[in-house]
Structure 1
Amino acid sequence: MKNKFIQFLVVGAMALSLTSCFENPSWTYDMAPVVEFKNPRTGFATQPTNNVSNGAAQRTIRQLLKRDSILVQLVGAQRPEATTLGYVIDAAKSTAVENINYRILESKGSVTIPANSSSAYIKFEILEGIPTTVAATQNFPLVLTLTGNDQIKPSENYKTFTLNIRR
């Protein structure tokens, strides 16, 4: 029994001594900066889902919400100047119609992250364009894809966001 205890202590001491040979991990993001969509909805009863396997992030809202926004986040060091990034609305995948189901409140196709900041919002108004004859469970998706700019590219996992609008 004493022999097994000594073996256990020797193996434990070896395991502890070997872990000191590993480098301390750096918790600082040191890759090229990227931008991505995030899906925060603090205080709202919605069902956000992030599915990294196909690069889709989505959220379902009711048209009664009236206003909503999607967060665009810079992953990397903050920049000393304002950064304008592009995005497109995927007409092939979107059935929500501009000025009937939604209206972009600021400049369409671009969002600006202020200087010394890490995020900005694409803000839009939800219009009551869905007829009452449509089932309340039918979605009208609005699909946005980040395009970035010359210096900052979009993250492959989070460059697309789908906002499903319901009656």
Structure 2
Amino acid sequence: MKKTLYFVLSVILLTHTACFKDPEVLYSGPAVVEFNAAIVAGAPVSFPTINVNNGAGDIFARVNLVGEQRPNDVTILYRVDPTRTTAVEGTHYQLLNKVGSNGSFVIPANRSTAECGVRILQSAPSPGNAVLLVLELLGTEDGSIKASENYKRLTYRIML
């Protein structure tokens, strides 16, 4: 009798747990790009600031594609925010892969991440001072992928 009761209870438990649906959560909004450093836990409300040394060379920040992956390579443009930046191009930094006055990088086909790079140049040392370089994602030239309004900026504080 005890074995039968255990068997019936086991069957009831197994059949009830098997009835839960597995919800598939998919993003259905427009495709956007965002700086990964801006979305990590503990990031500031506006946008993150990363300290880098004078003359650090090429540095890269991960960028996420939010939305459906593309079957072809996609070129994303970025710019230096002129109102927030105190660093001087050619003195403190250099954009990589320039397209006009903007920088660019490629998200490879069937991928959701890429690296946005900038070169930090060696400038005259000034201990205790720093300049700011604020990068802003623009998206694609044709507008098929836009920049996320909340996570499109990243600041490098160049320690002189």
TM-score by length of 1: 0.69
Per the alignment, do residues 139 and 26 of structure 1 end up closer, same or farther by CA in structure 2, a change over 3 Å counting? farther
Residue-by-residue CA offset, 1:85-142 (whole Å, 9 max, x unaligned): 222211121111111111123225222211111122222221111x33x233x22111
RMSD over aligned CA atoms reads: 2.6
Seq. identity, %:
35
Give me the whole-angstrom Cα distance separating, in 1, the residues matched to 2:70 and 2:51.
Answer: 32
CA contact (8 A) 1:39 1:58 kept: no
Residue-by-residue CA offset, 1:45-97 (whole Å, 9 max, x unaligned): xxxx722x32x122111124222112222112211011122222111211111
CA contact (8 A) 1:50 1:58 kept: no
CA contact (8 A) 2:56 2:121 kept: no
1:119 matched to which residue of 2? Answer: 113
Give me the whole-angstrom Cα distance separating, in 2, the residues matched to 1:31 and 1:24.
Answer: 21
Whether 1:58 and 2:52 are equivalent positions in the alignment is no
Whether 1:166 and 2:159 are equivalent positions in the alignment is yes
Deviation at residue 164 of structure 1 after TM alignment: 0.9
CA contact (8 A) 1:106 1:122 kept: no
1:33 matched to which residue of 2? Answer: 31
2:10 matched to which residue of 1? Answer: none
Deviation at residue 24 of structure 1 after TM alignment: 4.8
The unaligned stretches of length 5 or more in structure 2 are 1-15
Give me the whole-angstrom Cα distance separating, in 2, the residues matched to 1:22 and 1:148.
Answer: 40
CA contact (8 A) 1:39 1:59 kept: no
Give me the whole-angstrom Cα distance separating, in 1, the residues matched to 2:85 and 2:54.
Answer: 16
Whether 1:80 and 2:71 are equivalent positions in the alignment is yes
The unaligned stretches of length 5 or more in structure 1 are 1-16, 41-48
TM-score by length of 2: 0.72
Counterpart AA for 1:124: V
Whether 1:156 and 2:154 are equivalent positions in the alignment is no
Instruction: Report SS of the residue matched to 1:97.
Output: coil
Aligned length: 136
